[in-house]
């Protein structure tokens, strides 16, 4: 049972921090409500109205680009920690990897995927 004591502790601390943030921000913040601010949050869309409305899905292209570069980071971080041991081999390998990603970026850029009209 002793082993669970730290977990209980974390639970308490987390509850305290969460409660403190909410209470403090209610007490200290300046209240300047506008109708838009009072709307329920729905990813930037109007929450009231027909659910079958058409909307542009441009965001998915940005989302895909984000994933691509996110995965690049997943590779880059472990690589960076052992870079001094991998030496020139690791450098060249990563260079090729980034170059391939760059080609993809150039392609979508040329195709106009980054322009948000």
Partner 1 sequence: MIPIPEVDLGGILPALVLCVGGLIVMVAGSFIPKRAVAFSAIVSLVAVLVAFAVNSPLRMMNRQAFSGLISLDPYSWFCNVLLLIAAGITVLTSVRYLTDDGQELYEYFALLLFATAGMMFMVSANHILVIFIGLETLSISVYVLAGLMPTSPKSREAGLKYLILGGFSSAIFLYGAAFLYGVAGSLSLPAIAKVLQTGAGGKTALVGMGLLLVGFSFKVAAVPFHMWTPDVYEGAPTPLTGYMSVAVKAAAFAVFVRVFFAALGPLQVDWTQILWVLAVLTMVLGNVAALVQNNIKRMLAYSSIAHAGYLIVGMVAGKEAGTSAMLYYLLAYTFTNLGAFGVVALVGRKGEANVMLDDYRGLAASNPVLALAMSIFLFSLAGIPPTAGFMGKFTIFYAAVKAGYIWLVIIGVLTSAVSVFYYFRVVMKMYMEVPEKTPAALQFGPAMILALGIAAVGVMYIGIFPTTYLDLATESVKTLF
What are the tokens at 40? 């329920």
**Cβ closer to partner 1: 16 or 107?**
107
Judged by CB under 8 A, does residue 37 bind partner 1? no
Selected binder of partner 1 within 43, 82, 115, 117 (CB under 8 A): 82
**Cβ closer to partner 1: 39 or 106?**
106
Judged by CB under 8 A, does residue 113 bind partner 1? no
Selected binder of partner 1 within 55, 77, 103, 115 (CB under 8 A): 103
CB–CB of 68/108 below 8 Å? no
Q: What minimum distance in Å lies between the beta carbon of 66 and partner 1?
A: 18
Residues that bind partner 1 (CB under 8 A): 82, 85-86, 89, 100, 103-104, 106-107, 110-111
């Amino acid at each position: 049972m002793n082993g669970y004591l730290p977990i209980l502790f974390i639970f308490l601390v987390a509850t305290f921090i969460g409660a403190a943030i909410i209470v403090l921000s209610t007490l200290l913040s300046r209240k300047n409500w506008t109708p838009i601010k009072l709307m329920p949050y729905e990813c930037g869309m109007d929450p009231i109205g027909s659910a079958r409305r058409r909307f542009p899905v441009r965001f998915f292209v940005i989302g895909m680009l984000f994933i691509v570069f996110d995965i690049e980071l997943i590779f880059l971080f472990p690589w960076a920690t052992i870079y001094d041991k991998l030496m020139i081999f690791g450098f060249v390998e990563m260079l090729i990897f980034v170059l391939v990603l760059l080609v993809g970026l150039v392609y979508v850029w040329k195709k106009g995927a980054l322009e948000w009209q």
